[in-house]
Structure 1
Amino acid sequence: MELRMYKPLLLVISLDSLHLCLSFLQPSMLQAIAIDNLVLLSNTNCAYAEIAYNMVLSLHKFNVTNYLVIAEGESAHQYLIARNINAALSPAKHVESKVHDFNSRGWITFMSARPRYLLHVVSLGFSAAWIDSDAFFFKNPVPFLQGAADVILADDTGKRPDNGASVIYYCGCFLRFRPTPYSVRVLELWINHQEKNMGLNDQIVLNKKVIPKLMGPNQRLPPNLHILPQELFPSGRLFELLRGSSAPAWYHANWMLGKDKKLYELKAHGSWLVPGAQACSAQ
Structure 2
Amino acid sequence: MRLRSHTGSISVLSRSGLAILLSLTVILGVFFPWINFPVFGGNNNESSLTKWKEYTLAQAVSFVAKNQTLIVCAVSHPYLPFLNNWLISISRQKQQDRVLVIAEDYATLYEVNQRWPGHAVLIPPAPDDQTAHKFGSEGFFNFTSRRPRHLLHILELGYNVMYNDVDMVWLADPFQYLQGQHDVYFTDDMIAVKPLKHSSDLPPPGKKGRTYICSCMIFLRPTSGAKQVMKKWIEELQGQPWSRKAKSNDQPAFNWALNKTAGQVDLYLLPQVAFPSGGLYFKNQTWVQETKGQHVIIHNNYITGFDKKIKRFHDFGLWLVDDHAQESPLGRV
Shorter-chain TM range is 0.7 to 0.9
Q: Which residue of 1 is the match for residue 198 of structure 2?
A: none
1:30–1:39 Cα contact (<8 Å) kept? yes
- The match for 2:302 among 255, 259, 263 is 255
Q: How many pairs are equivalent?
A: 251
Residue deviations 1:62-107 (CA, integer Å, cap 9, x gap): 1102110111112222332344272223332314167522110001
Whole-angstrom distance in 2 between the partners of 1:134 and 1:72: 16
Q: TM-score, normalised by structure 1?
A: 0.80
Equivalent AA in structure 2 for residue 237 of structure 1: G
Are 2:102 and 1:70 aligned?
yes
Q: Which residue of 1 is the match for residue 74 of structure 2?
A: 43
Residue deviations 1:240-277 (CA, integer Å, cap 9, x gap): 42321213112211111111111111222221221379
Detail structure 1 runs of 4+ shifted over 6 Å in the superposition: 276-280
Instruction: Say which structure is richer in helix.
Output: 2
Residue 143 of structure 1 and its aligned partner are, at CA, apart by 2.3
1:47–1:98 Cα contact (<8 Å) kept? no
1:235–1:254 Cα contact (<8 Å) kept? yes
Q: Which residue of 2 is the match for residue 267 of structure 1?
A: 314
Spell out the pairing of 1:191-270 with structure 2 (5 A cutoff): 191-199=234-242, 200-207=248-255, 209-216=256-263, 224-240=266-282, 241=284, 242-246=287-291, 247-270=294-317
Cα distance 1:97–1:37, how it changes in 2: closer, same or farther (>3 A)? farther
1:153–1:175 Cα contact (<8 Å) kept? yes
Cα distance 1:161–1:126, how it changes in 2: closer, same or farther (>3 A)? closer
Q: Please state whether the residue corresponding to 1:59 is helix, strand or coil.
A: helix
Whole-angstrom distance in 2 between the partners of 1:129 and 1:161: 24
Tell me the C-alpha RMSD between the 2 structures: 2.6
**Larger radius of gyration, structure 1 or 2?**
2
2:156–2:222 Cα contact (<8 Å) kept? yes
Cα distance 1:129–1:160, how it changes in 2: closer, same or farther (>3 A)? same
Q: Please state whether the residue corresponding to 2:73 is helix, strand or coil.
A: strand
Runs of 5+ unmatched residues, structure 2: 1-53, 196-202, 243-247, 326-330
- The match for 1:178 among 221, 224, 229 is 221
Higher RCO (Cα < 8 Å, 6 or more apart): 1
Identity of aligned residues (%): 29
Whole-angstrom distance in 1 between the partners of 2:194 and 2:168: 26
Cα distance 1:196–1:95, how it changes in 2: closer, same or farther (>3 A)? same
Q: TM-score, normalised by structure 2?
A: 0.69
Whole-angstrom distance in 2 between the partners of 1:148 and 1:62: 23
